Structure 1
Amino acid sequence: MSNILNVQNLQKVYSGGNRELTILHDLTFEVKKGEVFSIVGPSGSGKTTLLGLCAGLDEASSGKVELCGEELTRLTEDERARLRNRKTGFVFQDFQLLPTLTAIENVAIPLELQAEKAAFERSKMLLEKVGLGDRIHHYPSQLSGGEQQRVALARAFVNEPEILFADEPTGNLDEETGEKIIQLLFELNKEHGTTLVIVTHDMELAKLSNRVLRLKGGRILESEIS
């Protein structure tokens, strides 16, 4: 099985005033195509920073990230954005839906950026699949937290990404709603054959993964088969 994500000697350093703060220290690991890969660790361990670097949302201070066969350090910001839109999906803790757009308009955004003619047709189909067929014209403010995260899931899968990054996808949800969202996430992931990279503090969620990477203080403690 080939790798969809390769990370080599990755470091992230923030400079402020006369001091430097190293968030990530010399990380090396890989994610294979089709696997579910979780990144766990306490608050402040660098999980979200690492996810952002792997997805090309931020630039590393040193080291290399290869995503879907492209070395991110060699791409311009615009090229990274195009790669993300074509080949990746995102699910965030705080949903990140645009408040002035309806559910179906939010889901259609990645396809509209690609000038996909069937954007709304595919968006409607996915919203029906996540149980929101009767809510497609509702705005985020008219939806519960669980419903908003369902919209975010539909948006993440609508462009049929090769890899999906999920940052604490149940962090703002109660336990019961969170369990339903995870069930949906894994069902959609299996159906689409997507690689899934999850940042989570939820060890029960991490146990559902093929592999778990443990971070502490910006360093890898261990990588294990779960």
Structure 2
Amino acid sequence: MPKILNVEHLRKTYTSGSKQLTVLDDINFSIEAGETFAIVGPSGSGKTTLLGLCAGLDYPDTGVVELSGANLGNLNEDERARLRNEKVGFIFQNFQLLPTLTALENVVVPLELQGAKNPAKIGRELMGKVGLGDRLQHYPSQLSGGEQQRVALARAFSNSPSILFADEPTGNLDQDTGDRVVQLLFELNQEAGTTLVIVSHDLELAQKCNRLLRLRGGKVVSNEVLIES
């Protein structure tokens, strides 16, 4: 299978006062198209920083990130944004829905910006798949946390991404609600054939993936195959 994400010798440091803090140190791994891949580690191990670098939201100090065949280091901001719009989906811990838009509009607006045909039809279908066909005109403030995350799921899959980055997707949800969101995430992902990259402190969630990368202190401590893809 072709590699959809390739990371080589990635290093990221931040300056805090007079000190240099190394958040990631010589990170190497690759992900095949269609894989489900989890990144786990204790708080402060560099998980979210790594996700941002892989998605082209930030720049490493040294190292290479190749996403969907493109070397992110060779792209300017506009080219990175275009690549994300066309190839990448995101799910965040805090949902990041636009409060002034209805649930349906939160899913449809990104499609409209991309010039998709029949965006409202696609949006309604996705909202139906996540079990919110009766909540289309509700605003985020009128939805529970689980419902908001399901809207975010529908939005994430709306552009048929090649790769989906999920940063602590159940972090703000109770156990039962989180389990339902995870079930939907994997169902939608399998149906779409998307590559899924999950950052989580939840080992039970991570172990549902094909592979598991463990970080500690900014370094890779293991890269395990859990389920043959």
TM-score bracket for the superposition, by shorter chain length: over 0.9
Question: For residues 83-162 of structure 1, what are the structure 2 equivalents within 5 Å?
Answer: 83-162=83-162
TM-score computed with the length of structure 2 as normaliser: 0.97
2:51 corresponds to 1:44 = no
Instruction: Give me the whole-angstrom Cα distance separating, in 2, the residues matched to 1:54 and 1:136.
Output: 32
The residue identity in structure 2 corresponding to 1:125 is E
> 1:56 aligns to what SS in structure 2?
coil
Deviation at 1:16, TM superposition (A): 3.4
2: CA distance, partners of 1:94 / 1:181: 14
Shift of 1:112: 1.7
**Structure 2 residues not aligned, in runs of 5+:** none
The list of structure 1 runs, each at least 4 consecutive aligned residues, that deviate by more than 3 angstroms after superposition, is: none
Q: Could you say what secondary structure the match of 2:15 adopts?
A: strand
1:39-78 correspondence runs (5 A): 39-78=39-78
Three-state SS of the structure 2 residue aligned to 1:148 is: helix
Q: Measure how far apart 1:191 and its partner are.
A: 0.3
Partner Cα distance (2:20, 2:110) in 1: 37
Cα distance in 2 between the residues matched to 1:162 and 1:195: 6
CA distance in 2, matches of 1:18, 1:208: 42
Looking at structure 2, the residues matched to 36 and 144 of structure 1 have their Cα atoms a distance apart, in angstroms, of: 27
Residue of structure 1 in register with 2:213 after alignment:
213
Q: 1:208 to 1:68 in 2, by over 3 A?
A: same
One-letter code aligned to 1:48: T
Q: Secondary structure at the match of 1:104?
A: helix
Instruction: Tell me by how many angstroms 1:15 deviates.
Output: 1.9
Amino acid at match of 1:154: A
Helix, strand or coil at the partner of 1:224: strand
Q: Which amino acid in 2 is paired with 1:68? A: S
* Matches of 1:217 and 1:225, distance apart in 2: 22
Distance, in Å, in 2 between the alignment partners of 1:129 and 1:102 is 17
Provide the alpha-carbon RMSD of the alignment: 0.8
- The answer to which of 183-192 and 105-114 deviates more is 105-114
Aligned counterparts of 1:132 and 1:199: Cα–Cα separation in 2:
25
The separation in 2 between residues aligned to 1:104 and 1:70, in whole angstroms, is 32
Q: How many percent identity over aligned positions?
A: 65
What TM-score does the superposition give when structure 1 sets the normalisation length?
A: 0.98
Question: Are positions 1:27 and 2:27 aligned together?
Answer: yes
Q: Report the alpha carbon displacement of residue 109 of structure 1 after superposing the two structures with TM.
A: 2.8
